[in-house]
A = this chain, B = another copy of it.
Amino acid sequence: MNAAKNTVVACCQLAPKVGDLAYNRSLTERAIRSAALQGAQVVVLPELVQSGYVFEDRDEALALAETRDGPTLQLWQALARELNLVVVGGFCERLPGGELANSAALIDAQGLRAVYRKAHLWDAEKDIFTAGDAAPPVIDTVHGRIGVLICYDLEFPEWVRLPALAGANLLCAPVNWPDGPRPLTERPAEVLRVQANASVNRMFIAACDRHGHERGVSWVQGSVIVDTDGYPVAGPAEQGGEQLLLASLNLAEARNKRISQRNDLHRDRRPQLYNTMNTSP
C-alpha cells in the first residue's frame, strides 16, 4: 500500500447542546481543527450537530434552523478553505416556505458542494421535517468520490446502493443512533449494518455518531470507520464519550468490486429480478 495515496478520514463523536447554536458552532470548530492537526483530510460530524436533536416541537426546530447561507455552513466553509479539507456534517435546514429538512452538507475547499436531505425519517422527525426525495449525492473531491446519507437511511440497503452504484469510494454518514437494549456481548446492530453495507458494496463508510444525554435520550456512541471488506479500521470505541476516530484509507480500493476471479459485487446484481413484488407461492 502506498501511504502517499491514502486519505485520512476522521469521525468526530461530539455532544452538541440542543438549542445552543453558538456552542455547537464552536464545538465543531474545535473538533475540525483538532482533526486537521492530526492529519485529517475528510472530517465527518454527527447528524444535526448544528442544532441538537431532541426538539420540543416543530417551532423550536424552526427557530434553530439555518439556511445553506447560515453561520454554521459559513463557518465550515471557512474552515474547509483554511485547512484544505472536506467537512460532512448535519444541520437543521430551513427550506423556502418554512419547511424543515434534516440535512447534511458536504463542503470542501471549493465551498459548499452538496446538501443532502434525509429521505427516511425517524420517529418524531416525521412531525418536524420534510423527507428528501433526492438520491444521496456523490461528489468528486480531490480525495475521490464521496457520498452522503443520514442515520436511518442506512437501514435501507437499496438506498445505500445508489451512491455505491454511482461510484462513491467513501460514504459519509452523520448519525444520531438512539441507544436501546441489546445483548451485552454484542456489537450494536447499528454498527453491523454499516459493516454489511460496506461489504456488499466494497465501499468505505464513515458513520459519525454523537454522545451525551439530551432530554432523556442517549446514544449508541458507536462511530465507526469501516473498510471495503466490512471490518472496522477505527472504532467503535468501547468507552463511548467524545471520540476522534482517524483512519488512513486508500479510497481507490473501493473502485474494485471484485471478490473472486469470477465475481464482481455490482456486476453480479440482477436488478431486473429485484423489482418484482410477485414473490409469494
Residues on A lying within 8 angstroms of B by beta carbon are 113-114, 119-120, 122-124, 126, 131, 133, 135-140, 152, 155-159, 161-163, 165-167, 182-183, 186-187, 189, 192-193, 195-197, 199-200, 229-232, 260-263, 265, 268-271, 273-281
Contacts and interface: CB of A to CB of B under 8 A. Distances in A.
A279 B230 contact: no
Contacts of A165: 277, 279
Protomer copies: 2
Given A138-B279, A158-B158, A165-B279, A189 B183 contact: no
A189 B230 contact: yes
Contact of A192 (B120, B152, B195): B195
27 contacts: A114-B281, A119-B270, A135-B276, A135-B278, A138-B280, A140-B281, A157-B158, A157-B161, A158-B158, A158-B161, A158-B271, A159-B270, A159-B274, A161-B274, A162-B276, A162-B277, A166-B277, A166-B279, A167-B280, A182-B229, A189-B196, A192-B192, A192-B199, A192-B230, A193-B199, A195-B196, A275-B275
A261 B123 contact: yes
A146 to B, nearest CB: 10
B135 A262 contact: no
A200 B260 CA distance: 27
A112 B213 CA distance: 55
